[in-house]
Structure 1
Amino acid sequence: MAHPTRRPTYPLAHSFRHKPRRLPLVLRFAKGAIHSIIVLPVLLHSLFTVLVVYLDTYVVTSLGLPATIIPSLSIVVGLMLVFRNGTSYDRFWTGRNCLTTIGTSVRNLARISLSNARGKDGEKLTEEEKRDTEKILRVLVAILYAIKHNLRAEFNIPPASLASLPPPTSPFGSRSRPISRRPSYSDHSPTDTIDTEQHGINTAKAEYTSLLPDGLMGYEDQGLGLPLQLTVLVEGFIRRGYERGWFHGPMASQMTVQLNALVDAYGRMETIRSTPIPVAHLIHQKQVLALFTCVLPFAIVDDYGWWSIPIVAIVAFTLYGIEGIGVQLEDPFGYDKNDIKMDGIIEDTRQEVTVLLEEWKATGEGRALGGMFD
């Protein structure tokens, strides 16, 4: 009896796989595989082995080396690959845990804010207080998107330095448009950007533009990341909530702790993003791999002859494949198939917070859905 295919449902609908694998992993050579990274070195070492076998067979008497040299080199190669892959996966796992910490902080801050946003003595909230609460819930979700885009080296919103500049009078006018001081920032996902002709730059991502407060300008061109800028708004809301009597001292302090944990986790993710593996290790690893796979044909040519070619190709495929996995896991915040599913994880958190907010707004004081916030 065939089991029905489970359709993705909330919660965690976006961060789970949406469809079963059509092919066994052993037969996959495209999505998620690292073959495109290693095909060139495997091909070059195979061709080099062809040359060695040809010279050994038709030109010189013997090019063979003692086979005892291989175990000595293989120990070094194994140790270096274990270190590289272990370090890379640790960066991947740490980045995933940091993203969980950030999502948990957003959940806690949203929950506490909505549960305690109540008027004094049973009075209803004013429209200003409702707007303030709703704004800060949207800012909490926007922080997730801002962190994602900053880790991917993408712009977020227009810099404040452009706010005072008038728009071009004509697309054919002589006035030059301002140029960002961070031209290396580019959007790798064109569908997520909107081109703002007023300022002539790529601005906020369409996926979370509506979450940002009206008129908010950024300071990324001056070195201030949008995530930290948004946390200042959250800190201000905590202070206002304390003054309104929504949060008592210990609760406000705990909310600040949650906000600090969010900033700390983001800082650790920035450390992973901005601290690559030391170049000395990368150089030596590449050289050791090349040396081993270049010496290997000489050590086996006398025993295997033309069979040395597929043997070397398999060894090169294995070793360079392990090294290629480390390369992909080194920076886990991008768009690769093997990177952290930041898009799906953030969308799931957005869905959770959005549902909480909509239920809170249903009656203005969160008494919908069986008194969720009572």
Structure 2
Amino acid sequence: MSSLRLLEVPPEYLSINRRVRHVERTLPHYDFFISPKSWKYSVVSSIFIPVALSTVWATFWTTVLVVLKIRGITSSFATLVSVVISLLLVFRTNGAYDRFYEGRRLWAQITSTIRNTARTIWSSCPDEDEEDMAQKLIAMNLLIALPISLKHHLRGQHGIQGASFELQEFLPPLPEFSQFNRHEFAQAVNAAAHTHKGASTPPMSPNMSQRAISHRSVSHPNHQPTAAGASSNSKEHYHDYSCNCVKIPFEICNLLNSYVGERRKKEQIHFMAGSGLGANISNLVDTTTGLERILSTPIPLAYRLHLKHTLALYFIILPFQLVNDLSWLTIPCVFLVTFIFLGIEKIGEQIEEPFGTDANDLPIEEYCEIIREDIVLLMARRASSAASWRAATDGFSTLNAKNGITGTPGSPKSPTLPGSSRSPPTQPAKRKTKVLLKSQAANPTTDV
């Protein structure tokens, strides 16, 4: 594992990858027809073969029916089936987009929570000595690694050896990140914990760990559990973690929770800041669970298969329905209808799994880069102190005087804005109000 990155400010805060994606996603409307960059977002290449087969089918039967002067079936059936298929496609696309939008909303929530957590840790947690500063920097690097590990977690890329070099450079060399098989993980963490004085974590017995491994492997009968000494990167991975790998995002949350808990025990942060950090970490876990819910709850396979079968049957009988009215125009009409319907169905299929690497999936790499740049910029300087603002008090007072605002910071007199007709109440008015309130309290039935 590479050394831990502490402080580094990139020369440009907008990376090249983010800038390129921004340009591609904001192309003018006419460029989407002529620019080769926009074609990677199109589904034309995915539906080319079925559209071509449907057109060849329509060409063959149109030629036979027109040349031999054979009448097709009534076109009213085509109208009825078209309405039904359109409704099915609408429900399919809406369901897929709901999953896409929910995934984007949860990622925005993760970004906001990580920003708030990083801001609170950097400004509230102590950094007087070298040890406190090192622990704070490790916590900030864990916040950078969290969205990256979550990205790999959602894509089924377990561990850090084969997933991404960007994840390795932000994870500290802790025992929690040395082994990624559940059995090896428990042994490594417990061994490291008992090397420190006062370790309170009870060791996990090998029998308990082995029972958990055997239980998780039941969901995939063809999967054989890995031996204790084997690497977790040498076998196939599963989204439900029946491969017995360790969930890195949750381990990062556990470490952050331990860091906040130690600061609270030592009374190094205010109890409200500590409670807020604990709530933020819980929110990160809840949001991660929401992303897992989208991943583990796909659109029912029966619905997808029925829609595909219905479309196939519709394209098969479509030439026989149009040939009576359109004759040779049946061929381009079938091509157009096939292209539209299959394109809509393919778009829904692509966006229903928004965490992949396709062009139309969520730009998760961009979200991780935004979080990294924000935290690195925050770590580029010491936490701001309100005590240093006193040096700017005179200039602030001069600015207020020029704008016609009376009262200076720290003075008991309330400021009065220019053009304000209301002024603070005078002392006689305050006394009169107190006397009136006392008389009302003595005689509650007296009308004032």
- TM-score, length-normalised on structure 2? 0.65
Counterpart position of 1:21: 27
Structure 1: how far apart are the matches of 2:92 and 2:81? Answer: 17
Matching residue within 208, 221, 228 for 2:167: 208
Cα distance, 1:100 vs. partner? Answer: 0.9
Structure 2: how far apart are the matches of 1:100 and 1:231? Answer: 18
Cα distance, 1:355 vs. partner? Answer: 1.1
Gaps of 5+ in 2: 1-11, 182-231, 233-243, 390-448
Matching residue within 126, 129, 134 for 1:126: 129
Deviations 1:19-68 (A, max 9, x none): 66375224467210001111111111101101111220234x42411111
- Relative contact order (alpha carbons < 8 A, sep ≥ 6): 1 or 2 greater? 1
Structure 1: how far apart are the matches of 2:276 and 2:63? Answer: 73
Matching residue within 304, 312, 317 for 1:295: 317
| Bigger Rg over Cα | 2
Cα distance, 1:248 vs. partner? Answer: 2.8
Deviations 1:192-211 (A, max 9, x none): xxxxxxxxxx4452113121
Indicate if the aligned counterparts of 1:218 and 1:226 stay in contact, CA closer than 8 A: no
Indicate if the aligned counterparts of 2:159 and 2:246 stay in contact, CA closer than 8 A: no
Amino acid of the structure 2 residue aligned with 1:319: F
Q: Which stretch of the first structure deviates more once superposed, 218-227 or 144-153?
A: 218-227
Indicate if the aligned counterparts of 1:333 and 1:342 stay in contact, CA closer than 8 A: yes
1:110 aligns with 2:115: no
Structure 2: how far apart are the matches of 1:322 and 1:280? Answer: 18
Counterparts in 2 of 1:155 and 1:132: CA distance versus 1, 3 Å: same
Counterparts in 2 of 1:258 and 1:326: CA distance versus 1, 3 Å: same
Counterpart position of 2:53: 44
Counterpart position of 2:159: 156
Cα distance, 1:89 vs. partner? Answer: 0.5
Amino acid of the structure 2 residue aligned with 1:71: T
Counterpart position of 2:178: 217
Cα distance, 1:117 vs. partner? Answer: 1.9
Q: Which runs of 4+ in 1 moved over 4 A?
A: 8-13, 365-368
Amino acid of the structure 1 residue aligned with 2:22: R
Indicate if the aligned counterparts of 2:153 and 2:247 stay in contact, CA closer than 8 A: yes
Counterparts in 2 of 1:13 and 1:27: CA distance versus 1, 3 Å: closer
**SS of residue in 1 equivalent to 2:178:** coil
Cα distance, 1:251 vs. partner? Answer: 2.5
Cα distance, 1:70 vs. partner? Answer: 1.3
Counterpart position of 2:303: 281
Cα distance, 1:142 vs. partner? Answer: 0.4
Gaps of 5+ in 1: 1-7, 120-124, 158-201
Cα distance, 1:217 vs. partner? Answer: 2.0
**Alignment RMSD (CA, Å):** 2.4
Structure 2: how far apart are the matches of 1:148 and 1:97? Answer: 15
Counterpart position of 2:42: 33
1:139 aligns with 2:142: yes
Percent sequence identity over matched residues? 28
Counterpart position of 1:347: 369
Structure 2: how far apart are the matches of 1:204 and 1:82? Answer: 37
Counterparts in 2 of 1:11 and 1:49: CA distance versus 1, 3 Å: closer
